[in-house]
Structure 1
């Protein structure tokens, strides 16, 4: 399983707990407004992914507040796009 699939699987598991059965996630879905996640869910997701991937993109370079959609979350775990996603965000 690649990194993107791992992130999506972990997100889907939490979304299914919070919002009920969801089979597919679209990159443009809003994590809070459409999927019902709260900050505690996002913190849990980041902790799970840090254990599975040994990566925490939110520790130094990227504010978690810049992540609003499924696509944003997937991009946060892709180091090639980290500077683009965090660009223009206040430190």
Structure 2
């Protein structure tokens, strides 16, 4: 499973617990307003992903407050997006 699939699988699991069965997520869906996630759910998601991916992009690279949609979350875990210019991902 690639990084994007890992993020989507973990997110779907939490969304299904919070909002009931969901088969598909769109990148433009709001994590809070449309999917019903609260800060505790997001913290749990970040913890799960840190264990599975061995990374936490919210320590320095990406402010957690900038993550509002499914797409924002996916981009936060994209190593190419996070890498400084000139540095390999």
Q: Is this a same-fold pair by TM over 0.5?
A: yes
Instruction: Identify unmatched segments of 5+ residues in structure 1.
Output: 84-91
Q: Does 1:35 align with 2:35?
A: yes
Cα deviation code 1:46-79 (max 9, x no counterpart) = 0000000001000112110000000000000002
Q: Does 1:53 align with 2:57?
A: no
How far apart are residue 41 of structure 1 and its match? 0.2
Measured in 2, the distance between the counterparts of 1:3 and 1:41 equals: 20
Measured in 2, the distance between the counterparts of 1:40 and 1:50 equals: 15
Instruction: Identify unmatched segments of 5+ residues in structure 2.
Output: 84-89
* Structure 1 stretches of at least 4 aligned residues deviating more than 6 Å after TM superposition: none
- Superposition RMSD on alpha carbons, in Å? 0.9
Under a length normalisation based on structure 1, what TM-score does the superposition of the two structures give? 0.88
Q: 1:75 — aligned with what?
A: 75
SS at match of 2:44: helix
Under a length normalisation based on structure 2, what TM-score does the superposition of the two structures give? 0.90
